[in-house]
Structure 1
Amino acid sequence: MIINIPVDVEKIINRLEERGFEAYAVGGCIRDSLMDSKPNDWDICTSAQPEQVINCFEDYHVIETGVKHGTVTVRLNGQSYEITTYRIDGEYLDNRRPENVQFVNSIQEDLARRDFTMNAMAYNSGKGLVDYYKGCNDLKDGIIRCVGKADERFKEDALRIIRALRFASVFGFTIEKETSESIHHNKNLIKNIAKERINVELCKLLSGKGVKEILKNYSDILSVMIPEIKPMIGFQQNNPHHKYDVWEHTIAAVENSVSEPIIRLAVLLHDIGKPECYTCDGRGIGHFYSHGEFGAKIAEKILRDLKFDNQTISDVCQLIKYHDADISENSKFIKKWLNKIGIVQFERLLLVKQADVMGQSDYLKEKKLKTLANIQSTMSKILEEKQCFTLKQLAVNGNDLIKIGIHDGKIIGEILNWLLEQVMENQLENKKDTLIIAAKKIIIEL
């Protein structure tokens, strides 16, 4: 088995071997290479201790940031390469990082401390693939399996629980039975993980092709990451528009949504407000009045807690707030929506609404999808024809109104907004002369 290692990585490995040490490319770069995917980073492990690595690369730019844990970073041709000494980890007191490490001479011992078999492989061009834990077989079979005892791996580093779900989702793999059971058993260890790390892993998980199975089979894990999800699980909707409970509907909607972080987050949380908004009428039909607006408030709290940036929070919550809003196919109303939330957000809103419909029952589904398609078509026409729906597109501006004698800033703003509304309503043409005449009439009336 041959893996094409980049020239600079070969240089680093060769330099270490020339000085009498072992060295291999290791971990995710080997996994990705075996999957015919281009690695983002190339990490190297070696029998050389940190001081010896530094001496080996005295003519290179060396960064000693991780020396305590055996890692030295070497800069070569503008790229950074982490070189880590073979090691075994000491005691984990915080379910995240070892208190100390012990350097060893055996690559087998080093690989034994890693999370999953598919990440516990090493390679160099002379010795080939080193795979003591049958990671290559698991990779071929599409299996996520812990190295050694799963309980030990997860208690050492609880982030591995979420990483297992993320890898399974991204690659469409299955989590091996013992590893899966351990994930469920140790789920509460996730509470010890920094919110920023959960944020990163959650976004990758949601974007994966296997997201449906993960949300379905590991809802208890998601509920630890986002406790507000728990009331959704098993909550019956009792409505002809729905054939699933709230969580099952959410899973179906996520599966049918565009794999883009803002949209996936919005779809995951779009019905988060339903359990608290539920009412039942005299016919036994369930309703969820204002659940979009209420859910947006819950989602804001969730996203802030998970340390998302302000723009993401704003965009996601806006989509949740309006996901159930009625949008007419009429171009006048579509222009008002474009004015209200902008082109990008309106396009996202249509995608969220489409995913929502795809997760519902067959009742009126075709009609709903046709309406969304018509709205999309009308919006495309509006954009192609450069129809006016913003003040920037309006044929007049504040300076034009000043020239005809209007100097009060507040009144100028009110007149421009009125003119824009008339243009969007197709009551006035977006032509300068026409708009100036209309503005002069307003002045006379004032």
Structure 2
Amino acid sequence: MLYFEYLKNLDTHINLLQKRIKDTHNIFLVGGCVRDLLLGIDKKPTDIDFTMAGEPTAIYDAIDKKGISHFITEKFGTITLIQKAKAANSVEIKYELTPLRTESDYADFRHPGEITRSNDLLLDSNRRDFTINCMYYTNVPYKKEYTSLIDKKIIHKYTDDEIFLKRLDDHRHLYIKDLNIFIVQDHKHIEKLFVDGQFQAEHLATMLKSTTVFVAGKKSEANKQLRIIVDPHKGINDIINKRLKCVGEPDKRFMEDALRIIRAIRLVNVLNEKLKDSNIKTLKQTPLPSASPLIKGDNKKIKLFDFEKATWNSLKKNHALIKNIAKERIKDEIMKAFTFGNPFGFAALLDEAQLLEHLFPALYATKHIEQPIRYHPFDIYAHTMLTLFELQKISKDPLVRLGMLYHDVGKVDQFAAYGDNLTKEEIRAILAGPLNHRRSSSVYARTDFKALGFSSKEIDTIARYINNHHKPEELLATKDDAMEKKVRKFLSEAGYEKAMDILDITMADRLGQYNPLQNSADLSDINKLKIILKKLQKKE
């Protein structure tokens, strides 16, 4: 079931923009703010994309800019408005306007070489990436005559997505009475309903005579505004079915903008994580009958996003195009996935889509490199992925997670240096030199993360986590009477937060062994170190 009732939260933004932009054309909110409200994962969006008819410079000149930050990128005609937080409990809101247009000639696989202004919603929709990002939301004044037209209709209750979609597919437009929401998917009706980006009230009245009417079972609102969702590529269908699908031909979409290849994986990854989090919060807030078989936090009852088959096949086929994209843009997608998503799932899909070698080459090189069975029953890559899976349960810090991703990549060189029948002295010499994986892993991390556009400060932090990921084991090997002194030195060198992060990495490293030959799940000694750190921190 979609959360159509949350769409009213967008009306404040439309009203604000209408006051700022002295223009009679309709304002359409589009993209993630509409999608996430319908999914119920972000009820108060702060990053809002919108569009409208008109020429960018003329629109920009007409904006009331008092009290807001603003700028325009003339090459692409994008206008950004930033409303700063006015009070301690308020937040900054960013509005980005790209007026209705068509695009062509993507010579660099990222930016359009030719932009043509168009006041046609349908033409604008054809350039967008995914159907779930291609729903336009606006509101218009409600007229009394609409009520008389709607009251004559048979009312259906919105209790089942399958029935709802069948009615929508049959008529290509639908009205939700108690929420004053009109959905239109039919292209011919869209053309007539918004001529040159301007709402045509007469045509809406014509459509209401033949539309299907539902009620969502919500508290009816006063008929002041009619809310309209223009959905030319059936984004609502794909949101309900949890399907990521390109607008039009997938090959064309990915060749226009190759960043969409990674964005698609990140989007599915982050949306699913937010859906799971939202479901857990809902379950915690909902009292369950004592006999209920449902366990709080159980995510088995929710459906998660997957890729439409043609979109996924095209994504894999075009994976090499990612080499044309600026490293900074790729880094942004990685950071979003490692901050808000499921890093394990993100890395696994990168691997399946043949992107891992392009983004994380040192990690890719660990595949099929076996380890001593008494310590690790899996190869380096599998162990790394398992440690990442365990770490993301403990830490949400993206740099800690990225440190975990690269903590063992240097083992490839370390193991290659091991010959047959090495003496203990020869092994010690390898471990004391640059091939020790704690040192070499951080060298690879510096190279690969620099290539991805990470800052020197971010890279230093990741490298520090890697260099010190065995430090807790060294501390635990210390005699009890000297332990506190060494832990104090560790705290002084690393700082409290970083020291705790390193302990989290060590915990995940152990859990990721999944080794029946060792008691790797016993973390009591690591927890003891955490207690000592906390006590020392309080004394400081």
Which TM class, normalised by the smaller chain length?
0.7 to 0.9
Count of matched residue pairs: 382
TM-score between the two structures when normalised by the length of structure 1: 0.78
| Distance verdict in 2 for CA 1:206–1:281, change over 3 Å | farther
Which is further off, 231-240 or 91-100?
231-240
Who is 1:152 aligned against? 252
Instruction: Note if contact 1:292-1:323 (Cα within 8 Å) is conserved in structure 2.
Output: yes
Cα RMSD (Å): 2.7
What are the residue-to-residue correspondences of 1:329-344 with 2, within 5 Å? 329=476, 330-344=483-497
Once the two structures are superposed, residues 10-30 of structure 1 have per-residue CA deviations (whole angstroms, 9 ceiling, x without a partner) of 2424787x8542321111211
| Distance verdict in 2 for CA 1:20–1:314, change over 3 Å | closer
Q: Counterparts of 2:524 and 2:69 in 1: how far apart (Å)?
A: 60
Instruction: Note if contact 1:170-1:211 (Cα within 8 Å) is conserved in structure 2.
Output: no
| Distance verdict in 2 for CA 1:191–1:204, change over 3 Å | same
Instruction: Note if contact 1:65-1:71 (Cα within 8 Å) is conserved in structure 2.
Output: yes
Which is further off, 256-265 or 69-78?
69-78
Who is 1:261 aligned against? 398
State yes or no: 1:175 paired with 2:307: yes
State yes or no: 1:379 paired with 2:386: no
Once the two structures are superposed, residues 203-242 of structure 1 have per-residue CA deviations (whole angstroms, 9 ceiling, x without a partner) of 1122344332332232121221122222112322242222
Once the two structures are superposed, residues 158-213 of structure 1 have per-residue CA deviations (whole angstroms, 9 ceiling, x without a partner) of 11111111112212232322222222211111111111111111111223443323
Unaligned regions of 5+ residues in structure 1, if any?
Answer: 387-446
Percent of residue pairs identical: 29
What are the residue-to-residue correspondences of 1:245-394 with 2, within 5 Å? 245-257=379-391, 258-278=395-415, 279=418, 289=431, 290-325=436-471, 326-329=473-476, 330-362=483-515, 363-366=517-520, 369-386=523-540
Who is 1:222 aligned against? 356
Structure number with the bigger relative contact order (C-alpha 8 A, sep ≥ 6) is 2
Who is 1:166 aligned against? 266
What are the residue-to-residue correspondences of 1:111-190 with 2, within 5 Å? 111-126=125-140, 127-172=227-272, 173-190=305-322
Which residue of 244, 254, 257 corresponds with 2:378? 244
Give the AA of the match of 2:513. Answer: Q
Pairwise CA distance, 1:113: 0.9
TM-score between the two structures when normalised by the length of structure 2: 0.65
Q: Counterparts of 2:82 and 2:523 in 1: how far apart (Å)?
A: 53
Instruction: Note if contact 2:261-2:319 (Cα within 8 Å) is conserved in structure 1.
Output: yes
Who is 1:405 aligned against? none
State yes or no: 1:49 paired with 2:49: no
Pairwise CA distance, 1:66: 2.8
Pairwise CA distance, 1:99: 0.7
Q: Say which SS state the counterpart of residue 323 (structure 1) adopts.
A: coil
Q: Counterparts of 2:370 and 2:139 in 1: how far apart (Å)?
A: 58
Which is further off, 273-282 or 49-58?
49-58
Instruction: Note if contact 1:240-1:361 (Cα within 8 Å) is conserved in structure 2.
Output: no
Q: Counterparts of 1:143 and 1:254 in 2: how far apart (Å)?
A: 26
Who is 2:120 aligned against? 106
| Distance verdict in 2 for CA 1:327–1:376, change over 3 Å | farther
Pairwise CA distance, 1:63: 5.0
Who is 1:390 aligned against? none
Q: Say which SS state the counterpart of residue 256 (structure 1) adopts.
A: helix
Q: Say which SS state the counterpart of residue 113 (structure 1) adopts.
A: coil
Q: Counterparts of 1:117 and 1:378 in 2: how far apart (Å)?
A: 53
Once the two structures are superposed, residues 274-296 of structure 1 have per-residue CA deviations (whole angstroms, 9 ceiling, x without a partner) of 1111136669xxx9941111111
Q: Is the radius of gyration larger for structure 1 or structure 2?
A: 1
What are the residue-to-residue correspondences of 1:13-92 with 2, within 5 Å? 13=18, 19-36=23-40, 37=42, 38-54=44-60, 56-57=62-63, 65-74=72-81, 80-92=94-106
Q: Counterparts of 2:12 and 2:250 in 1: how far apart (Å)?
A: 36
Give the AA of the match of 1:343. Answer: Y
Which residue of 199, 210, 224 corresponds with 2:342? 210
Who is 1:433 aligned against? none
Q: Counterparts of 1:381 and 1:73 in 2: how far apart (Å)?
A: 48
